[in-house]
Amino acid sequence: MIVAELKEIREIRNMVDRYASILVVGCDSCVAECAAGGHRETMLLAAALKLSYKKDNLNPVITEACLDRQCVDDFIEGIAHLVPEHDAILSLGCGAGVQALARVYADKPIIPALNTLFIGETEMRGVWQENCLGCGQCKLGYFGAVCPVTRCSKKLMNGPCGGSKGGKCEVNPEIRCGWDMIIRRLDALGELDRLTEYVPPVDWSTSHSGGPRRIVREDQKP
Amino acid sequence: MEKNPTKIVVYHCTNLRLFHNGNQKKFARERPGISIVAVPCSGKVEAHHLLKTLASGAQGVMVLACGEKACRYLEGSMRSKKRVEYAKEWLVKLGIEPERFRFIHVPPMDIKALDSALKEFAAELQSFGNTPPIAKNQTELTTNPR
């Protein structure tokens, strides 16, 4: 899932202060799981904005709504009846959601309320861990399902560096060494021999360096 | 009767059994400015409820919970406490007194404890003054298309 966090209220206010009516739109998918932009957070932000404006004796119209998914047109249409009566949309979607809203509602300013951070997992309640960079060349099968591109701070593909101590990374002692995790897991699975296989260098042309990526599948088209 | 009573909204866990047979309405009627909202567990009260209550014109919000070890749903009371603390952090960010949210444990059926807690809370809120008044044309079109 995509992990994000809410921007500071001051930054949000700076962006939306010019509008007299604001539609606050959440997304009940990834950003709800990471407690940043689901329906609860949407209601929270809308209430916080109302309080913030009240404190300044200002009174914009603030309406809240939440979509099941902000990055798919079929869901985005769910707020079509609310959009015309507002000056701007404050989106609690990830960067993809914000841009999808901007494409569908081309005549409305769309303001992001979140900072989109990474692709990750919910490690435990309240803790989210980055574990995929979207490099486009997944090699998890070689590395015991632990990604060296993401979990190793130096993105090393050929074993740990000299800074790994006690299973911790020298970049930050709170970070677990990605290669320590790879080796321990493969050892536990009895598959340490995987590391003797030749892993070709990463082809970074499939990563973001080549510009925005796109997948087209004819069988999925309408 | 007080001219401008302090507006306080109280969310209380029904498992505290504070009110019986319509006593809740009578209790609120006898104390102008006090609104009582029963919830099945204090853990049902979330940060957005607290902020929204304040944004809707309350001067303070109180959450009454069972003791942490007495919670019928095990974690509800503990979660509620955390949520009130989180909501207070929001008030700090917004430059509003965090003491406007109060979380307290009260013994079951102890209406006197609630009464004295309310008096103390109201006195503290009066020292803060009013939150900025809500303009009359502030409308909410809260809609969830789902």
Mean pLDDT score, A126-148: 93
Which residue among B47, B55, B146 places its CB closest to the CB of A51? B55
Residue with tokens 């309310």: B118
**Residues of chain A with C-beta less than 8 angstroms from the C-beta of B52:** 43, 46-47, 50
List CB contacts of A33: < 8 A, sequence separation 6 or more.
Answer: A1, A122
> What does residue A91 show for φ and ψ, rounded to 5 degrees?
-95, 130
What's the whole-number mean pLDDT along residues A117-139?
A: 93
Q: B141 versus A6: which is more confidently predicted?
A: A6
Nearest CB to A54; choose among B132, B137, B143 = B132
Contact B144 A66 (CB under 8 A): yes
- Chain B environment of A5 (Cβ under 8 Å): none
Give the lowest-confidence range in A6-10, A207-211, B55-59, B67-71: A207-211
AA identity, residue A145: A
From the list B64, B95, B98, the residue with the least C-alpha distance to B81 is B64
The stretch A35-60 carries a mean pLDDT of: 96
Residue in A54, A64, A83, A87 to test binding to B, most B beta-carbons within 10 Å: A54
A44/B135 touch (CB, cutoff 8 Å), yes or no:
no
Residues in B closer than 8 angstroms to A65, CB to CB, are 143-145
Q: CA of A56: which chain B residue's CA is closest?
A: B132
pLDDT per position as a tens digit, A166-188: 999 999 999 999 999 999 999 99
- Bigger pLDDT: A19 or A136? A19
C-alpha of A220 from chain center? 25
Contact: B146, A63; criterion CB under 8 Å: no
Q: pLDDT > 70: what percent of chain A?
A: 100
Give the model confidence (pLDDT) of A109-118 as tens digits. Answer: 999 999 999 9
pLDDT number for residue B2? 64
Q: How far apart are CA A193 and CA A51, in angstroms?
A: 60
Q: Average pLDDT of A116-131?
A: 94
Span A140-159, average pLDDT: 93
B64, two tokens: 């009454």
Across the range A145-165, mean pLDDT stands at 92
Over residues A51-74, mean pLDDT: 96
* Mean of pLDDT values over A83-100: 98
Supply the pLDDT for residue A211: 78
Q: Which residue ranges of chain B lie beneath pLDDT 70?
A: 1-3, 130-146
Which chain B residues are closer than 8 Å to A26 by Cβ?
Answer: none
- The pLDDT score that the predictor gives to residue B138 is 42
Give me the interface pTM, i.e. the ipTM.
Answer: 0.85
Interface contact flag, A82 B141, Cβ < 8 Å: yes
Q: What is the distance between the alpha carbons of residues A60 and A8, in angstroms, rounded to a whole number? A: 19
- The residue in chain B having the minimum alpha-carbon distance to the alpha carbon of residue A25 is B144
Residue percentage of chain A with pLDDT more than 90: 84
CA B32 to chain centre: 15
Q: How many CB pairs under 8 A join A and B?
A: 80
**What is the per-residue burial (b if ≥16 Cβ within 10 Å, else e) of A57-91?**
eebbbbbbbbbbbbbeeebbebbeebbeebebbbb
Q: Report CA A75 to chain centroid distance, whole Å.
A: 19
pLDDT above 90 (res A80) = yes
What pLDDT is attached to residue A103?
97
Arithmetic mean of pLDDT, A7-30: 97
Stated pTM of the model: 0.89
Rounded to a whole number of angstroms, the distance from the CA of B118 to the nearest CA of chain A is 23
Query: Which residue in the set A44, A65, A82 is minimally distant from B47, CB to CB?
Result: A44
Distance CA(A100)–CA(A73), nearest Å, equals: 8
Residues of chain B positioned with their CB less than 8 A from the CB of A68:
146
- The two tokens of residue B78 are 């503990």
Q: Is the pLDDT at A204 greater than 90, yes or no?
A: no
Which of B51, B132, B143 lies at the smallest CB-CB distance from A57? Answer: B132
Residue A193's SS3 state is helix
pLDDT of residue B137: 42
Residue of A44, A68, A87 to mutate, interface with B, max B Cβ within 10 Å: A44
Q: B89 is written with which tokens?
A: 């952090």
Distance CA A90, CA A62 (A): 10
State whether A59 and B48 contact (CB < 8 Å): no
Residue of B nearest to A42 (CA): B48
pLDDT over 90 (residue A209) = no
pLDDT at residue A198, as a whole number: 84
Single-letter residue type at A96: A
